[in-house]
Every structure is written in structure tokens, then in C-alpha cells.
């Protein structure tokens, strides 16, 4: 039961981080917003390490966590590119579905299949992710070319590999895996800004508040995902954590007064049913 609770709290943290990160992206651009929210979270983690004595990682696990952060960030950049060049209504759900499905496949091969009710819950959760990422007027997206799936597919693999690697490293420690993974992500984002986009690494002082808040929420999501991984199977932790788009949609509805499409309402209801089945 603790794995389910932690997984849902991870979804809340990541959903809130996506919402506030989206607001920050409107002010300073997506890459810069993500980089500085990562930096804010990194500082928060260092402060936490000064209070909580966490076992240091072995060199192999340190490399795995660093690689997980870089791969997850590469998945994020690939998703941004997919949304820019293709249909957002296809890119976002395909990426999210694969990110959740990959740990399910991995755990089935390494630890065996979960209970039937949990399998049904997983299927409904994946369906809810697709539904909740469909905006008004995009409830019936069509695929023009198979190549449109290439970037979302790569993005989903990046997120899925992040889940799996962090689950393995989380068995050794709690905070150090997040520090190492965030270091890998920041390095990749910094290089993307400096080399690819050639943008200066600075933001206005007034933007730090929302960036810091987004970073704190992202750290919270990562912490609860690690706790969920330590408490149970990685497939359960990954699927529940991947429900975060529903949180982002609900926050946009509550705070920005954005209208929910019929598919988004249905997706939220289906996610609640999925959660209920996974707790049986």
C-alpha cells in the first residue's frame, strides 16, 4: 500500500512541476526554465544532504544514476522537438504510454507478472494517460506518417529507461541518486543551451521564484518515485507516477480556468478506476 501512496504523491509532485514549469517556459523558454528548475532542485538536494545522512553510491550506481538523468533529459528534449515538429496530441500520449509500459515489460521479465487486477489497472492507467493528454478539438488525432512516431517513441524510451535505472539505484540510497541524475540532466541541458541554441545561461531575478517552486515540486516527485520504488515493484511505481499529466490538466483547470475536453474528463475518471484496481 505504501508503494501506491508514494507513486500517487510522485504524480502530484511531477504534475505540479509540469504546471509551474509550463508557466515559467512562457516567460523564459522551455530549455532555460527546465535547466534552472533543475538547478534549484539541485541546491535543495544539497541542503537536504547536509541534514540527512544518506549512504553514498557505489561507482557503478553513481554512473547509472548520472546516465539516468542524462537519458531522461534527452527524452524530454526529444519530446519538445516532437511537439514542435509534429502533432502534440500524438507526441505527448505516445511518449507517456511507452514510458509507463517499458517498466511493466521489464518487471514482468525480471520478477514475473503482477496480479490480474493490477494488470487491468495498468491497462486502464495507460488508457487514462492517452485520454487526459487530448485537448479540445484533438480527441481524434490521425497519424499521417509512421515517421511521426519516431521522436515520441525515442522520448518514451528515454523516460522508461530513466524509471528502470533509478529503480535499481534507489535500492542503495535515496537522495544521492537524485543528485547524480540531476547532475547528468543539467550537464546535457547546459550543453544544449550553449552549443545548440547559443542562449546565455541567465534569467531575470523576478523569474527565480516560479523556477525554484517548480524545482522543489520536481524534487518532491522524484523523491516519492524513489520511495515507491523502494517499497514495491518498479512497474507499479512507474505507472502510478506516470499519471502526472492528469494533475497538470486539473491544475490548469483550477488555476488558469482552462476548459476540460470530454476525453480529459473521461481520462480522469478512468485513472481513478485504475488506481482502485491497483490497490486490490
Q: Looking at residue 26, what is its pLDDT?
A: 80
User: Which DSSP helix (H) or strand (E) runs through 85?
Assistant: helix 59-85
Q: Looking at residue 148, what is its pLDDT?
A: 61
- pLDDT above 70 for 48: yes
Per-residue burial over 45-70, b if 16 or more Cβ lie within 10 Å, else e, is beebeeeeebeebeeebbebbbbbbb
- pLDDT above 50 for 136: yes
What whole-number distance in Å separates Cα of residue 224 and Cα of residue 236? 13
- pLDDT above 70 for 147: no
The predicted-structure confidence for 59-99, as pLDDT tens digits, reads as follows 999 999 999 999 999 988 887 777 666 555 567 777 888 88
Q: Mean per-residue pLDDT for 243-261? A: 85
Q: Looking at residue 162, what is its pLDDT?
A: 94
Contact 95, 155 (CB under 8 A): yes
Put simply, whether the predicted model's pTM sits higher than 0.75 gets the answer yes
The predicted-structure confidence for 1-23, as pLDDT tens digits, reads as follows 688 899 999 999 998 988 898 88
Q: Mean per-residue pLDDT for 31-49? A: 90
Q: Looking at residue 144, what is its pLDDT?
A: 53
When divided into structural domains, the chain yields a total of: 1
- pLDDT above 60 for 137: no
Instruction: Give percent of the chain above pLDDT 90.
Output: 36
Q: Looking at residue 63, what is its pLDDT?
A: 96
Contact 208, 14 (CB under 8 A): no
Mean of the per-residue pLDDT values of the chain? 85
Q: Pick 205 or 7 by higher pLDDT.
A: 7
- pLDDT above 50 for 105: yes
DSSP E strand boundaries for the chain: none
What whole-number distance in Å separates Cα of residue 169 and Cα of residue 215? 21
Contact 67, 184 (CB under 8 A): yes
Q: Pick 46 or 3 by higher pLDDT.
A: 46
Q: Looking at residue 139, what is its pLDDT?
A: 46
Residues spanned by the domain of 131: 2-278
Tell how many helices (H) and how many strands (E) occur in the chain.
11, 0
Q: Which residues have CB under 8 Å from 268's CB, separation 6+?
A: 128, 132, 246, 249, 250, 260
What whole-number distance in Å separates Cα of residue 1 and Cα of residue 270? 20
Q: Mean per-residue pLDDT for 127-143? A: 67
Amino acid at each position: 500500500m505504501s508503494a501506491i501512496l508514494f507513486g500517487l504523491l510522485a504524480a502530484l509532485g511531477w504534475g505540479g512541476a509540469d504546471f509551474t514549469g509550463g508557466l515559467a517556459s512562457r516567460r523564459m523558454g522551455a530549455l532555460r526554465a527546465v535547466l534552472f528548475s533543475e538547478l534549484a532542485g539541485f541546491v535543495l538536494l544539497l541542503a537536504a544532504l547536509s541534514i540527512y545522512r544518506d549512504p553514498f553510491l557505489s561507482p557503478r550506481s553513481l554512473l547509472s544514476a548520472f546516465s539516468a538523468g542524462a537519458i531522461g533529459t534527452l527524452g524530454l528534449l526529444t519530446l519538445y522537438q516532437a511537439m514542435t515538429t509534429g502533432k502534440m496530441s500524438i507526441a505527448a500520449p505516445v511518449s507517456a504510454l511507452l514510458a509507463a509500459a517499458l517498466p511493466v515489460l521489464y518487471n514482468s521479465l525480471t520478477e514475473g507478472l503482477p496480479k490480474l487486477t493490477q494488470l487491468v489497472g495498468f491497462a486502464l492507467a495507460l488508457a487514462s494517460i492517452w485520454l487526459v493528454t487530448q485537448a479540445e478539438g484533438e480527441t481524434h488525432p490521425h497519424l499521417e506518417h509512421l515517421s511521426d512516431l519516431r521522436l515520441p517513441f525515442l522520448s518514451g524510451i528515454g523516460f522508461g529507461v530513466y524509471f528502470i535505472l533509478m529503480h535499481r539505484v534507489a535500492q542503495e540510497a535515496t537522495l544521492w541518486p537524485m543528485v547524480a541524475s540531476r547532475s547528468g540532466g543539467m550537464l546535457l541541458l547546459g550543453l544544449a543551451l550553449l552549443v545548440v541554441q547559443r542562449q546565455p545561461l541567465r534569467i531575470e531575478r523576478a523569474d527565480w521564484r516560479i523556477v525554484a517552486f517548480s524545482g522543489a515540486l520536481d524534487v518532491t516527485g522524484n523523491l516519492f518515485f524513489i520511495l515507491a520504488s523502494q517499497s514495491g515493484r518498479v512497474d507499479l511505481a512507474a505507472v502510478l507516477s506516470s499519471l502526472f499529466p492528469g494533475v497538470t490538466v486539473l491544475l490548469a483547470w483550477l488555476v488558469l480556468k482552462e476548459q476540460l475536453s470530454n476525453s480529459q474528463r473521461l481520462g480522469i475518471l478512468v485513472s481513478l478506476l485504475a488506481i482502485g484496481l491497483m490497490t486490490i
